[in-house]
Amino acid sequence: MININDKTIYEIENLFKERSYQKFRAKQVFRAIHVNRLNDFDEMTDLPLKMREDLKADFKFERIKVLKTFESKIDSTKKYLLELPDKNIVEAVYMDYKDRSTICISSQVGCRMGCSFCASTKNGLVRNMTASELIEEVYLLERLNGPISNIVIMGIGEPLDNFDHIKKFIEIITDPSGRNLSHRSITLSTSGLSPRIKDLADTGLDVNLALSLHYADDKKRAVYMPVAKKYSIKDLIDATDYYFDKTGRRVSFEYVVIDGVNNLTEDVENLRDLLFGKNVHINLIPLNPIEEFNHKKPGARVLEDFKQRLIKRGLNATIRRSMGIDIDASCGQLRNNYAR
């Protein structure tokens, strides 16, 4: 059985050609899936009955479902535990702002990057998510909350460690004959696989890129982020410069503030040396404490003070707004708790 909601319109055209269907049928089916959101050939009543029966024998739809919902009482943030077809579990978050709604989606079941402050990686990588699972993640949250305006790929997993599926997912979700989401409404966050950052730039997909820098010194970064042993900060700056040159998209640098660890004077100086004069943005994120990492959440004053010190050095820094703080399980924690 071939997974139909995993396919770009061109792939469906080829599959249909092999089966001697007329070319326009591919667009019809693609629209049925991505515009009308049907996930059953029986509902595609504008297809001939015989074709529907033949398609059912050959193709299937991958579906995922909500296992548990956590709703904030402070704002309208919702966190979901989602069950994949093989019963594996991932997380997604829906956030409602005044003028837009954003969802944060997972890209892998688990993660193999090993960052010490991150809950998602504690049990390693189980497997990559497929393009159709990523698509379904979005459509499921839209079915529950209405159309969304932005997607951030910042949930469980390292998206650039699942490059091919992520690329296909972006191609499908931005296709003008389907969901037609704009490239600039998608943000991909990476722990820093520099060769893949360049590959992403070369795809021409032009999504927003966020780099999880967190430490501006290689030695220090490597203590908390094993990926830093493979790719140096210089590699990352080369790759993000390349990304900016190719796409014209300003790269944002994420910085999880861990009080007493990476908000020291040396960190401010290192960040300045690294980023001054570049068209980048530093996004300060308060550490979300997890059981396995013995550090507290920084207070509002610590964050503000660090931000001001960066601004004084001529850097462009803001503090990320926290949503749904009463259901504040950082990504990966809900899944880990559920597994326990």
Annotated binding site: 111, 115, 118, 157-158, 189, 212-214, 288
The verdict on 330 binding ligand SAH (CB under 6 A) reads yes
d(CA 265, CA 11): 53
Measured from the CB atom, the residue of 190 and 270 that comes closer to ligand SAH is 190
d(CA 135, CA 165): 10
User: Is 104 one of the annotated active-site residues of the chain?
Assistant: no
The dihedral sign for the CA sequence 102, 75, 288, 125:
negative
The verdict on 205 binding ligand SAH (CB under 6 A) reads no
Q: Among 212, 252, 262, 263, which residue interacts with ligand SAH (rule: CB under 6 A)?
A: 212
Is 109 in contact with 84 (CB distance < 8 Å)? yes
The one catalytic residue among 13, 91, 133, 137:
91
d(CA 248, CA 243): 8
User: Is 137 one of the annotated active-site residues of the chain?
Assistant: no
Which stretch, 38-46, 172-180, 195-203, 286-294, contacts ligand SAH (CB under 6 A)?
286-294
d(CA 191, CA 241): 16
Which stretch, 113-121, 133-141, 164-172, 311-319, contacts ligand SAH (CB under 6 A)?
113-121
Is 62 in contact with 132 (CB distance < 8 Å)? yes
For ligand SAH, the binding residues in 31-70 under the rule CB under 6 A are none
Ramachandran bin of 214, using left for φ above 0, alpha for ψ from -120 to 50, beta for the remaining angles: left
Q: How far is CA 298 from CA 117, 252, 263, 301, 340, in A?
A: 14, 21, 10, 8, 27
Q: Among 288, 315, 329, 334, which residue interacts with ligand SAH (rule: CB under 6 A)?
A: 288
State how beta strands 252-257 and 208-212 pair. Answer: parallel
Helix, strand counts (H, E) of the chain: 11, 14
Q: Among 101, 150, 189, 247, which residue interacts with ligand SAH (rule: CB under 6 A)?
A: 189
Q: Among 80, 117, 139, 306, which residue interacts with ligand SAH (rule: CB under 6 A)?
A: 117
The residues facing 290 across adjacent strands are: 293
The verdict on 256 binding ligand SAH (CB under 6 A) reads yes
By CB under 6 A, the count of residues binding ligand SAH is: 17
The one catalytic residue among 133, 137, 254, 331:
331
Q: Among 95, 134, 141, 290, which residue interacts with ligand SAH (rule: CB under 6 A)?
A: 290
Which residue type is seen at 189? S
For ligand SAH, the binding residues in 236-255 under the rule CB under 6 A are 254
Q: At closest approach, how far in Å is the CB of 267 from ligand SAH?
A: 16
User: Which of 175, 116, 31, 96 has its CA nearest to residue 295?
Assistant: 116
Q: At closest approach, how far in Å is the CB of 155 from ligand SAH?
A: 6
The verdict on 285 binding ligand SAH (CB under 6 A) reads yes
Task: Label residue 193 exposed, middle or buried (CB < 10 Å: 0-12, 13-18, 19+).
Answer: buried
Which stretch, 48-56, 189-197, 269-277, 315-323, contacts ligand SAH (CB under 6 A)?
189-197
The verdict on 158 binding ligand SAH (CB under 6 A) reads yes
The residues facing 105 across adjacent strands are: 92
Residues written for the chain: 340
User: Residues annotated in the binding site for S-adenosyl-L-methionine, as ranges?
Assistant: 157-158, 189, 212-214, 288
User: Residues annotated in the binding site for [4Fe-4S] cluster, as ranges?
Assistant: 111, 115, 118
- Which residues are known catalytic residues? 91, 331
Q: Under the rule (CB under 6 A), what is the footprint of ligand SAH?
A: 113, 115, 117-118, 154, 158, 189-191, 212, 254, 256, 285, 287-288, 290, 330
